[in-house]
Chains A and B, each alone.
Chain A
Amino acid sequence: MNIYVLQAFLDGVLMGGIYALAALGLSLIFGVLKITNFAHGAMMTMGMYAVYAISVGMGIGPYAALPLAMAMMFGLGFLIQRVLINSIDHAPAYNQLLLTLGVAYILENVLLMVFTPNYRTLTVDAFQKAIHIGPLTVAPARLIMFAVVLAVTAGFYMLLYKTRVGRSIRASAQDEEGARLMGIHVKRIRAAAFGLGAVCTGIAGGLLTPVMSIYPTLGESFQLKCFVIAVLGGMGNLWGAFLSGIFIGVIESLSGYFLGGTWSEMLIYGAFILILLVRPTGIFGRGNRRES
């Protein structure tokens, strides 16, 4: 295989990890709240700026800033759900969805006001100087990024399948009323799910800060990709989201290499449509088992 193809493949996998993590958050939020979070991209940008601001402000490295940024993002997500979305939880789903779109614009404009539209770059030479792995080159920051994504995804798996809170989250997603009738505090679970979804965006965004220049509307390009990935993965399916994220990352990178960057978006959404035509529940979707 052509070495450049291999390089493009590697780049795609590493970037796909970020898509996967962000999409996982979207999928989690959808699973529990049954709404698509249109503020997901903007929350991701918040994560980027959180890491940037903490790193610059406190003079610490971006990875040291990440835990604090995660905590901030959890708080932000929890509050957005509890204060805004929750107060209209009797409204039709599309109104809740529009509300998240409003939140997206507010977050974006707050970032514009505070940080201006200028590109910001966090320079940490140690992580950005490319290293060679055989014939391939890669920035350490991208390897760290992927390693953290793997660890966080595994962590989410443990949280969802091995803890009490995780069990309550899954129960609420599968049958909200059943969960309430068993004494689960579904209101709290919904806020926690949104908070955890926000943490996913925070980590995904934060890991990108040492890798690319950031600006307040950067998250928009991630929004739709996350949605596509979450749908392909089967909304609410953790590993499905993960594998679909890698898949989309690779498609994007390879099509960029073979056909040029303008083609990559077209191919992503083209593949999306094709896959849905063949498998309407997504590649890893389970279909709807509720009817039984």
Chain B
Amino acid sequence: MLNITDLHVRIGNLKIIQGVSLRAEDGEIVSLMGANGSGKTTLMRAVSGLGHITGGKVEFQGEDITGWSSEKIVEAGLIQVPEGRRLFPLMSVRENLEIGAHNRRAREKEKDSLEYVYSVFPDLKDISGQPAGDLSGGQQQMVAIGRGMMADPKMLILDEPSIGLSPIMTQKVFEAVKEIHRKGTAVLIAEQNIADVLEIADRAYVMEQGLIRLSGTAKEMLDSSRIRKMYLGM
């Protein structure tokens, strides 16, 4: 589904991503782990057309999408729920969700998608008229994920969806990710909440300083002494 080969990404003069290869197959949940500043966000932004790629290749469903504009990538079905959520603060929850269905593929399914989002996040239905900027962090994250679901994703990229959320909210977010996955959408998820994400992921990558240091199945990761020591404190 997604195949990243030897990707290099710069921000200004800094080489942030220095040759990353990563793949996600159809129907997989792949987790990208790593500390703050390891380059996860930069990598994901670059995949969605928001970065300065200086080398390597990004393929999506067999098509080379390196250097494509964000709009075109969205149209192809690769949707990102970005770090910081990036909602439209003055618009209602409902309108935020509707904009999710802006792309041509998603437009026809808008009504069904909205029902689907409300079934996954029933809370959103009750606050659908409220401006997104007035919501709590957890509610905003639900809107952000819901907006991503509205875009009819073939693959959903989630950048640290549980950051700053309460344990209950975090649980809700992971439940939603599982539900999205059950529907057949592939998921690439960046997380620092490693214990939780490894429970739902099929495979995982660990990033350090712009490079992939470790990769394997979720089970291998959980068993790895290095992961246990560095990230799980065991």
Contacts and interface: CB of A to CB of B under 8 A. Distances in A.
Most buried by A among B74, B90, B133, B134: B90
Interface in A174-227: 174-175, 177-185
Contacts of B75: 183
B48 interface: yes
Contacts of A286: 90
B162 interface: no
Contact of B102 (A170, A174, A182, A292): A182
Contacts of B95: 167
Interface string A145-179: 00000000000000000000001101100110111
A181 B89 contact: no
A289 B87 CA distance: 12
Contact of B74 (A170, A177, A182): A182
Contacts, number: 70
A289 B98 CA distance: 21
Contacts of B85: 178
Nearest to B70: A180
Contacts of B48: 181
B99 interface: yes
Contact of A181 (B86, B90, B98, B134): B86
B113 to A, nearest CB: 13
A152 B151 CA distance: 34
Given A167-B95, A177-B82, A292-B133, A182 B89 contact: no
A62 B105 CA distance: 45
B215 interface: no
A26 B87 CA distance: 24
A132 interface: no
Interface in A69-126: none
Contacts of A167: 95, 98-99
A256 B128 CA distance: 49
Given A178-B82, A292-B133, A292-B134, A183 B91 contact: no
A289 B147 CA distance: 20
Nearest to A289: B133
B86 A183 contact: no
A289 B90 contact: yes
B90 A182 contact: no
Nearest to B86: A178
A179 B82 CA distance: 11
B24 to A, nearest CB: 18
B65 to A, nearest CB: 14
B102 A184 contact: yes
A184 B69 CA distance: 11
A289 B133 CA distance: 6
Contact of B147 (A177, A182, A292): A182
A183 B89 contact: no
A282 to B, nearest CB: 15
Given A290-B133, A292-B133, A181 B99 contact: no
B133 to A, nearest CB: 4
Given A171-B99, A290-B133, A292-B133, A178 B87 contact: yes
B88 A183 contact: no
Contact of A182 (B49, B99, B133, B134): B99
Most buried by B among A178, A179, A182: A182
A170 B70 contact: no
Contacts of A181: 48, 50, 70, 74, 79-80, 82, 86
B100 interface: yes
A178 B80 CA distance: 9
B88 A171 contact: yes
A168 to B, nearest CB: 7
A6 B74 CA distance: 57
B151 A174 contact: no
Contacts of A170: 88, 90-91
A175 B89 contact: yes
Given A167-B99, A290-B89, 16 more contacts: A170-B90, A174-B89, A174-B90, A179-B99, A180-B49, A181-B50, A181-B82, A182-B74, A182-B103, A183-B70, A183-B102, A184-B71, A184-B99, A185-B71, A289-B131, A289-B134
The 5 A-B residue pairs whose C-beta atoms are closest, nearest first, are A178-B86, A183-B74, A183-B103, A174-B88, A180-B70
28 contacts: A167-B98, A167-B99, A168-B102, A171-B88, A171-B91, A171-B99, A174-B88, A174-B89, A174-B91, A175-B86, A178-B82, A178-B85, A178-B87, A179-B99, A180-B71, A181-B82, A181-B86, A182-B100, A182-B102, A182-B103, A183-B74, A183-B75, A183-B151, A184-B99, A184-B102, A289-B90, A289-B131, A290-B89
